Amino acid sequence: MKAVLQEKFRATFGREPAIIVRAPGRIEFIGNHTDYNGGPVLGAAIDRGVWVALAPRTDGVWQLASAQKDGVVRLRGGDLTKHSGATSWVNYPLGVIDALRAFGLGVPPGFDYFAGSDLPLGAGLSSSAAIELASALALTRAAGAEPARDVLVKACRHAENHFVGVPCGILDQGVSGFGRRNHLVFIDCRGPRFEVVPLPEGVHFWIFNTHTKHALVDGLYAARHRECMEAARVLGVGLLVEAPLGALAAAAGRLAPVAEKRARHIIEEIGRVDATVRALRAGDLTSVGRLLTASHRSSQMLFENSTPELDFLVDTLVATPHVFGARLTGGGFGGAVMAMTSAAFSPALAAGVAAAYEQTFGARPDILHTLTADGAQVL
Choice from 23, 30, 32, 376 touching ligand GLA (CB under 6 A)? 32
Q: Give the separation between CA 124 and CA 121, rounded to whole angstroms.
A: 8
| Residue whose C-alpha is closest to residue 166's, from 237, 224, 105 | 224
Q: Which stretch binds ligand GLA (CB under 6 A): 13-21, 164-172, 292-300, 361-369?
A: 164-172
At its nearest, how many Å lie between ligand GLA and the CB of residue 195?
18
Assess 335 for contact with ligand GLA (CB under 6 A).
Answer: no
Give backbone dihedrals phi and psi of 216, rounded to 5 degrees, phi first. -45, -50
**CB contact set of 27 (below 8 Å; sequence gap of 6+):** 43, 44, 46, 125, 205, 207, 329, 338, 370
Choice from 94, 168, 199, 313 touching ligand GLA (CB under 6 A)? 168
Residue closer to ligand GLA, measured from CB, 166 or 259: 166
Assess 333 for contact with ligand GLA (CB under 6 A).
Answer: no
Choice from 39, 331, 365, 375 touching ligand GLA (CB under 6 A)? 331
Choice from 33, 48, 154, 296 touching ligand GLA (CB under 6 A)? 33
Asked if residue 24 has a cis previous peptide bond (ω within 30° of 0), the answer is no
Q: Give the separation between CA 213 and CA 222, rounded to whole angstroms.
A: 16
Choice from 9, 13, 29, 36 touching ligand GLA (CB under 6 A)? 36
| Residue whose C-alpha is closest to residue 324's, from 310, 346, 339 | 339
* Residues 299, 301, 304, 310, Cα dihedral to 10°: 60
- What residues between 229 and 288 interact with ligand GLA by CB under 6 A? none
2-38 as b/e: b if 16+ CB within 10 A: eeebbebbeebbeeebbbbbbbbbbbbbbbbbbbbbb
Assess 307 for contact with ligand GLA (CB under 6 A).
Answer: no
Residue closer to ligand GLA, measured from CB, 38 or 169: 169
Choice from 8, 17, 35, 232 touching ligand GLA (CB under 6 A)? 35
Q: Which stretch binds ligand GLA (CB under 6 A): 26-34, 72-80, 235-243, 349-357?
A: 26-34
Q: Are 89 and 66 in contact (CB under 8 A)?
A: yes
Residue closer to ligand GLA, measured from CB, 55 or 314: 314
DSSP conformation letters of 102-136: HTT----SEEEEEEEE-SPTTSSS-HHHHHHHHHH
Assess 209 for contact with ligand GLA (CB under 6 A).
Answer: no
Of 118, 150, 172, 366, catalytic: 172
The question of whether 172 is a catalytic residue gets the answer yes
Residue closer to ligand GLA, measured from CB, 174 or 365: 174
What residue number has its CB nearest to ligand GLA?
A: 168
At its nearest, how many Å lie between ligand GLA and the CB of residue 162?
14
Q: Give the separation between CA 32 and CA 213, rounded to whole angstroms.
A: 18
Residue closer to ligand GLA, measured from CB, 30 or 203: 30
Q: Give the separation between CA 288 and CA 291, rounded to whole angstroms.
A: 5
Assess 22 for contact with ligand GLA (CB under 6 A).
Answer: no
Choice from 24, 28, 130, 263 touching ligand GLA (CB under 6 A)? 28
Q: Are 318 and 325 in contact (CB under 8 A)?
A: yes
Q: Which stretch binds ligand GLA (CB under 6 A): 16-24, 30-38, 102-110, 292-300?
A: 30-38
Residue closer to ligand GLA, measured from CB, 28 or 309: 28
Assess 227 for contact with ligand GLA (CB under 6 A).
Answer: no
Choice from 192, 330, 365, 375 touching ligand GLA (CB under 6 A)? 330
CA within 13 Å, CB half, 369:
13
DSSP conformation letters of 165-224: -----SHHHHHHHH--TTEEEEEETTTTEEEEEEPPTT-EEEEEE------GGGTHHHHH
Catalytic amino acids?
A: 172
Binding site for ligand GLA (CB under 6 A): 28, 32-33, 35-36, 126, 168-169, 171-172, 330-331
